[in-house]
Amino acid sequence: TRENLRTLMDEINRGEDTLNPWIREGLAAARQVGPTDYEMANFGTGFYRRNFAKIFDNHDALLTPSANGEAPKGLEGATLGQFNSFWTWMYGPALNIPAFLGPAGMPLGVTLVGRQGEDAKLLATARWVERALGALPIRLD
């Protein structure tokens, strides 16, 4: 998104060619989105953020997958953070817990998401989840 361009501006200015290929691909795609399209895409964002926040009226956190599989063995296999982009868009804190090991022995994580402004509460919830999972990571063979 265009936010990525703003967020990574320092890194881009220091040398975009040093960034991971998947980040460079995302930046190239973001450059194709014009200001008008960007504003239209963000129209109504406040509505969604307010309604998303209501989830936390009855829940401390959401537990979601961090990715569609275990981590790749090298950076070459890494992909964009499709599973995390929505949480960024909602302005809520999110953190990853490497909870399991996949068939290749690489970590497979879960993401905990909390209400905007409640970072400390999310960290406390994460400590609880880690204790509940026991000795990490759990092998999923």
**82-115 residue pLDDT tens:** 678 788 888 889 998 888 888 888 888 889 999 9
Residue 63 · residue 111 · CB < 8 Å = yes
Residues paired with residue 111 on neighbouring β-strands, in sequence order: 64, 96
Task: Return the pLDDT at 89.
Answer: 82
User: Rounded to two decimals, what is the model's pTM?
Assistant: 0.70
Percentage, residues of the chain above pLDDT 90: 25
Other Cβ atoms closer than 10 A to 33: 13
